[in-house]
Amino acid sequence: MTNLCYALSTSPPPPPSISKFISDHPCLTMLQNNCSTMKDLKKLHAHVIKTGLALDTIAYSRVLTFCASSSGDINYAYLVFTTMQNPNLYSWNSIIRGFSRSSNPKLAISLFVDMLYSEVHPTHLTYPSVFKAYAQLGAAHDGAQLHGRVVKLGLEKDQFICNTIIYMYANSGLLSEARRVLNGHVELDVVACNSMIMGLAKCGEIDESRKLFDDMPTRSAVTWNSMISGYVRNGKLNKALQLFHKMQQEGVEPSEFTMVSLLNACAHLGALQLGEWVHDYIRKNDFELNVIVVTALIDMYCKCGSIGNAIGVFEASPTRGLSCWNSIIIGLAMNGHEREAMKLFSKLESSSNLKPDNVSFIGVLTACKHLGAIDKARDYFALMMNKYEIEPSIKHYTCMVEVLGQASLLEEAEELIKGMSIKSDAIIWGSLLSSCRKHGNVEMAKRAARKVCELDPTDASGYILMSSVQAASNQFEEAMESRLLMKERLAEKEPGCSSIEVYGEVHEFLAGGRLHPKTLEIYSLLNDSSFALQEIDYQ
């Protein structure tokens, strides 16, 4: 960030006013009224060049603005921008804004630095996009330098700038800085509060997030969506559903974002009945079935075990993005339809406009694991690296270790872990340890358990699995030592958790837990059932 520091210290302050570019040229009217796709834009762009309008800064900036919008192509926009001889303020702001919303926000910051060295200087409309880029990158420490410039120029009270500064700090986890800026607001701004709610939830401070939500005098639909999403992110799934019901009672119109958050909650809870209701709500209210909504629907149905509905959504989808393919492939693999998952993967490979990514290969390798298809797994693993040049992640290696472990190829699995180009973790050694337990390989189990305990000493699974292996081999003293070592290191096993959906309401139960409001009735029914079973046995 040295260039930014230097540029901030040397560039002059922004001009006091912003030029307003308006043109009534017929070509620009066509651009505004008749251009809806990049195909249309490219035709008009060719016309602009042919008629000499490319030399007109205003005309060319309009072309650039469309390319940098959500309907355009940011890479094409960059090509247009680089051919402009003297880009005006409107053009600079458009390209920076476009990249701040893209998958490459770092380029927005680079362009801002270039702008500081150019003859055109940023205004208060430029800074929000740059702060948003820092937020997307989670680089608030670097963005603080720009915050200092804004204070120096006296722009810190600008509402749009202030809101994006709060968003930058909150999204990067710097909550105290975000609170400090928020408290400097004259009024409690809805946009700023929304950023704080998301930031608090992201950092696990969900109760603080809800307190801010309750204290807000007015709330937008984004506020409700942010709070619901925060609950889902923090595993408070029932509270997410309760808040949605409250949202309906207060007459707030839900959006596609709300639906996706609810579908994610249903997927985690396995609440099929409620998930079907959400799907029906989407249909009845004519929500756009974009890639994000379709993916969430497929994921929900797969995790609820309704694979037929998942396939139905996939086949009826008007737009199938790669995430839709990945969700259905993984869903098929996880629900006992391994061969169908492999067939669908082959269809994805033959698709003209898409190609498998690292998630696609996790899905097909998972199918191989459940099917016990060792040779197929080896082929897919090689295909991923050789044809698609995808570097295997720890998840890909873990899938391969599980496939090999199931087939009792423990030595090959151990060698694969040792030969990885990336650092191993407790999960992959835990997978090998589980296979050692299944096949009774005590010596390798000791090595794997040692690695698990080294990499994550607080994880109880390594100690428990090692103890089970030792007990199965009649090494009872060693098994007791493993259990004692687990207690000494304060490693705890998370209690088992299950849920059941009854008349649209989801009930959660912890192993040994007695916090459910109908605990007495439940245990009474269990006792009655136990007695009834005993009587049947005695007969």
Note the pLDDT tens digit of each residue in 498-536.
Answer: 656 554 455 666 655 666 667 777 767 777 676 666 666
Residues 336-391: tens digit of each pLDDT: 999 999 999 999 998 767 899 999 999 999 999 999 999 999 999 999 999 999 99
- CB half-sphere exposure, 283, CA atoms < 13 A: 10
Backbone conformation region of residue 251, classed left if phi is above 0, alpha if psi is from -120 to 50, else beta? left
Q: List beta partners, residue 506.
A: 501
Are 321 and 289 in contact by the 8 Å Cβ rule? The answer is no
Quickly count: other Cβ atoms within 10 Å of residue 212's Cβ: 20
pTM (predicted TM-score): 0.66
**Domains in the chain, start-ordered, CATH in brackets?**
320-391 (no CATH), 393-493 (1.25.40.10), 497-538 (no CATH)
Q: Give the separation between CA 72 and CA 36, rounded to whole angstroms.
A: 9
Query: 534 burial class (0-12, 13-18, 19+ CB within 10 angstroms)?
Result: exposed
Are 437 and 472 in contact by the 8 Å Cβ rule? The answer is yes
Residue with tokens 């909550």: 175
Q: Give the separation between CA 147 and CA 507, rounded to whole angstroms.
A: 47
* Residue type, position 531, single letter: F
Coil, helix or strand at residue 439: helix
Q: Give the separation between CA 130 and CA 523, rounded to whole angstroms.
A: 59
pLDDT in tens, the chain (539 residues): 545 555 555 544 444 333 333 344 555 555 555 566 666 667 666 766 666 555 556 666 777 777 777 666 788 888 888 888 788 898 899 899 988 988 889 999 999 999 999 989 999 999 999 999 999 898 999 999 999 999 999 998 888 898 899 989 988 889 899 888 888 765 667 888 888 898 888 888 999 999 999 988 888 888 998 999 888 888 787 888 889 889 989 988 888 888 998 898 888 888 888 899 899 999 998 888 889 999 999 999 999 999 999 999 999 988 888 999 999 999 999 999 999 999 999 999 987 678 999 999 999 999 999 999 999 999 999 999 999 999 999 999 999 999 999 889 999 999 999 999 899 888 898 888 888 878 878 788 878 877 877 777 766 666 666 666 655 555 555 555 555 555 555 444 555 566 565 544 556 666 556 666 677 777 677 776 766 666 665 44
Quickly count: other Cβ atoms within 10 Å of residue 284's Cβ: 8
Are 66 and 41 in contact by the 8 Å Cβ rule? The answer is yes
Are 126 and 95 in contact by the 8 Å Cβ rule? The answer is no
Q: How many residues does the chain have?
A: 539
For residue 151 the two structure tokens come to: 């204070």
Backbone conformation region of residue 474, classed left if phi is above 0, alpha if psi is from -120 to 50, else beta? left
* Residue type, position 526, single letter: L
Quickly count: other Cβ atoms within 10 Å of residue 135's Cβ: 24
Are 355 and 349 in contact by the 8 Å Cβ rule? The answer is yes
For residue 91 the two structure tokens come to: 């053009």
Quickly count: other Cβ atoms within 10 Å of residue 402's Cβ: 22
